[in-house]
Structure formats: structure tokens, C-alpha cells
Amino acid sequence: MGTELFSIYDAFAGDLAQAVDPAAVEEVRRRHLGKKAPVREALSQLRTLAPEDRPAFARDVQQTLARMESEVESKAQAIESAALDARLAVEAVDTTLPPIEPPAGGRHPVTLVERRCEAVLRQLGFEVVDGPEVEHPWFNFDALNIPEHHPARDLQDTFWVEGGWLLRSHTTTIQARILASTPKPPIRVMARGRVYRNEAVDATHLAMFHQFEGIWLEEGLTFAHLQGVLNFVARSLYGDHPTRFKPKFYPYTEPSVGVDLACVTCGGRGGSCESCHGSGWVTILGAGMIHPKVLRGFGYDPQVVSGIAFGLGTTRMAAQWAGVARIKSLYETDLRVHAALDRGSLS
């Protein structure tokens, strides 16, 4: 490298050493590597050199130019890296701290109750079935020993839709559809879902709520089997609390019973307890032996085959476990109701 090239490089190196930000580096690049930079104008001296000296001089110029370009790029990257490190130091986040996360969602209390009921009945060999919510009157009434003159068919009690269909008033319609296919016993099925009744909305009643039902059809079933199943279901769902059976009427079962549980909230003492309205007992189940007329309507001989049927109001059960007096609260957007339910014991 000639003396002139050494001088050009030294001037470049001095300016580059003083550059401390990207703008200064860019100014060094423009001044020492631009079209009119000294290192590029040095090539114009080739014509003043002897032919034999020209190749060596041109090589020295190109090497000097390449070195200067490399050093400029390295300095620019170093400044950029230092600026990034400084920014990260200021904006650093301690990743060892616990993160701020929104509360996790959960299943609806009614869904949790339904799943627990399913888990209990699966122990007895029951399987889940489903059916439509918009139902034909035959499955909702006629097939279940509820003729046209029955009060349950009054327009004030049922939501009717076009075409003579209706919104099912109980999940027993699903069981009716299963029996209509006349499967061979034994039959153990459970059904759950929304039902609709034209009722005045108050603290314990809604026009839409949830039910859970089961039927067991087999030869030789007696009322003792019904009592055993109901006691097992009550203990599995509520724990070891006293129960009592009382006479009830359902068109599709005979005899029919209701199952009361000693109020968990007040321990059966009653008084001013809102959960049991002071009686000390809460009705949790309706049940009975499947009516012989219903069996004959589906093609079964009641002298050979008998069955048991039972139903639970899962909406009311969820309200009891969540500790709310108004079941309407379960269908509102008040998250405090959902948080009140002990999900760990039901999930």
C-alpha cells in the first residue's frame, strides 16, 4: 500500500473511531466511501503510473476499500447491538415473578351436577341418551298415559309451536322415544337437558330449567329395587343424610313416590331456613314403577317385564350446592354464583 493510501486509511480510521451513533457512522461512510471519496479518486492516478506498476496499485486500492467497508459495517453493527442491550436493560422483565393471568373459566354448575349424576348412574350400568327439545305431543303426553283431557295438556302449562308440536315439558320424552323402538330388556338409560313450562317466574320456578331422568326396564324388578336405587343415588349425590319416601302422583308411574332429603343447609331443623322453607326437608327425586298402561303402549307385557323410573331437578340441585336461594341466579351472568360452587368436589 502506497503512502497516499496509508494517509487515506488513517484519516478514515480516525473519523470512524470518533463515531458513536448510527448517524455519525453514516457520515463516515458518505465521506470516506462515497463516489467522490479519496480512496475512489486514488484510482484516477493509475494513468500516471508505469504500466508495470498499475496492477499492484489497483490491487492495493481495492483491498483498502474493502477493509474500510468491512470496518464501517462492523462499527454500525456494534453500535446497534449496544443500543439494543441498553434498551433491554431498561425494559427488562423479571421472568421469575408469577405471571398476571385472568381467572380460569369453568363449567356451569348445572353441567357439573349433570356430570356427577351421570357418574353415579354409570356405576349401575346406565348409559346416556338424548332427544329433541321440540317434541311431538305423542311422546310428551299420549305415550306417557297423559290423554288429551289431562290438565298437563292445557295451553297455560305448555309452550306450543306451529304444526301442533311443543317444547318438551319433561325429559321423559327421551325415555318414551327409547321405549318406542322396543329394545329387548334389560334397558338402563339416563337422559338430561332443558325442559320448558309456562310457569310464573319466582325464586324457585322458571319457564326453562334442567331435568335428569333414568329408567330401568327388566324382568323381575320390584318396588324394593326402586328404593335401593333411589337411596344409592341420594347417598352418592348428597352424602349420608336421612331420606324419606312420600306418596306422589305421576301419570306414567304407579305407585309413585317422592324422595325427601333432610335439609343439608339447616341439618333438618327447619325454622327460618330458606333452602327448605322451614320444613327441614327438601324434595330431590320423583320416582315410581313404570305404569302398566305405558308398558303395554310400547309393546311390553307388564306381567313379564317391569320397570322403574326416576327424575331429578338438576337446576334445583345446582342451586342447593351453589348456596343460592333463587334458581334464576344460575341463568344470569353473576359470576359470584358460579364461584360459590365448590367445583372441586363435583368435577
- What CATH number has the domain bearing residue 278? 3.30.930.10
Q: What pLDDT, on a 0 to 100 scale, did the predictor assign at position 127? A: 93
Note whether residue 246 is domain-resident. Answer: yes
Cα angle for residues 126, 127, 129 (degrees, 5° grid) = 130
57 and 173 in a single domain? The answer is no
**Over the stretch 160-194, which tens digit does the pLDDT of each residue have?**
888 889 999 899 999 899 999 888 989 999 999 99
**Over the stretch 216-264, which tens digit does the pLDDT of each residue have?**
999 999 999 999 999 998 888 888 888 899 999 988 999 999 998 887 7
Note whether residue 332 is domain-resident. Answer: yes
- pLDDT band for 275, please (50, 70, 90 cuts): low
Q: Is residue 248 within 8 Å of 286, Cβ to Cβ?
A: yes
Q: What pLDDT, on a 0 to 100 scale, did the predictor assign at position 155? A: 66
Q: What pLDDT, on a 0 to 100 scale, did the predictor assign at position 280? A: 82
Q: Is residue 241 within 8 Å of 227, Cβ to Cβ?
A: no
201 and 244 in a single domain? The answer is yes
| CA separation for the pair 248, 219 (Å, rounded) | 24
Note whether residue 101 is domain-resident. Answer: no
225 and 113 in a single domain? The answer is yes
Residue 49 structural domain: 3-90
- For every residue of 162-185, DSSP letters joined together read GGG-EE-SSTHHHHHHHHHT-PPS
Q: Of 22, 56, 90, which residue is a domain's last? A: 90
264 and 322 in a single domain? The answer is yes
Note whether residue 65 is domain-resident. Answer: yes
198 and 85 in a single domain? The answer is no
- Give the relative orientation of helices 3-18 and 22-33 as an angle to the nearest 10 degrees: 160
Kindly state the cell numbers that stand for 48.
Answer: 500516471
212 and 268 in a single domain? The answer is yes
Weakest-pLDDT range from 157-161, 193-197, 342-346: 342-346
Beta-sheet strands, E only, within 200-302: 208-219, 243-250, 253-262, 281-290
Of the two residues 290 and 273, the one the predictor is more confident about is: 290
Number of domains, the chain: 2
Give yes or no for residue 203 having a pLDDT over 70. no
Q: Of 48, 63, 90, which residue is a domain's last? A: 90
211 and 288 in a single domain? The answer is yes
Kindly state the cell numbers that stand for 173.
Answer: 320424552
74 and 20 in a single domain? The answer is yes
Note whether residue 298 is domain-resident. Answer: yes
Note whether residue 95 is domain-resident. Answer: no
80 and 113 in a single domain? The answer is no
Q: Is residue 284 within 8 Å of 319, Cβ to Cβ?
A: no
